[in-house]
Chain A
Amino acid sequence: DTEVTQTPKHLVMGMTNKKSLKCEQHMGHRAMYWYKQKAKKPPELMFVYSYEKLSINESVPSRFSPECPNSSLLNLHLHALQPEDSALYLCASSQVEGWVEQYFGPGTRLTVT
């Protein structure tokens, strides 16, 4: 199984809502990533988890809170978001951390109203 799954595919939330994005992989990968991608722009790295520990936080606002419950799952908890946070949120995994080949999920299209 070489698939990274993400749920939901689409999410619309108000600025006062709390929601979570979920990502799952069953490839035995030990590094997982969250990226944010605005329209017609490249993905921007947000967080990296390596062996279930937060390895990199690219100065992301605290309204985004990542969580790695186990080696297969990665969550991104959202709270008090702003309209400018509307974007495609991509999850990826790789065998180990170190900027090797990453496998991406299809993304969650988030709209903040």
Chain B
Amino acid sequence: SQQGEEDPQALSIQEGENATMNCSYKTSINNLQWYRQNSGRGLVHLILIRSNEREKHSGRLRVTLDTSKKSSSLLITASRAADTASYFCATDTGNQFYFGTGTSLTVIP
């Protein structure tokens, strides 16, 4: 079955607001990655966080990882209309690589 579940499934916010999406997974991981996908196009890698890291920043992105709860969150601060996309977490279990179910983010100008 799918390794990662994301919530919410869909999120709609006003430009300038922060967006938070969560990813929960089932088995222990080596690392967790977040990707963005604009409608029907290829995915873009956003950030990778290793299992021994708790928090990582990249520009307006902040990712946290709680291995005890098997969960991660992606925070996008000061959102822009261009952030409208689907966001997927992806987990590396060592011998498997799964994308989560995804969160569809809409940022309203």
Contact = CB atoms under 8 A, between A and B. Distances in A.
Q: Do A and B assemble together?
A: yes
Given A99-B31, A99-B92, A43 B41 contact: no
Interface string A80-108: 00000000101010000011111111110
Most buried by A among B31, B44, B45, B90: B45
Given A42-B2, A99-B31, A104 B42 contact: yes
Contacts of A106: 41-42
A101 B40 contact: no
- SS class, residues of chain B in contact with chain A: strand
Interface of B: 2, 30-31, 33, 35, 40-45, 48, 88, 90, 92, 97-102
A62 B42 CA distance: 25
B40 A43 contact: no
Contacts of A41: 101-102
A101 B42 contact: no
A113 to B, nearest CB: 19
Nearest to A98: B92
Given A41-B102, A92-B42, 11 more contacts: A41-B101, A42-B99, A44-B99, A45-B98, A88-B40, A99-B33, A99-B92, A101-B33, A102-B43, A104-B43, A104-B44
Contact of A90 (B30, B43, B100): B43
Contact of A107 (B2, B40, B101): B40
A100 B48 contact: yes
Interface residues of A, number: 21
B88 A42 contact: yes
Most buried by A among B40, B43, B44, B101: B43
B46 to A, nearest CB: 10
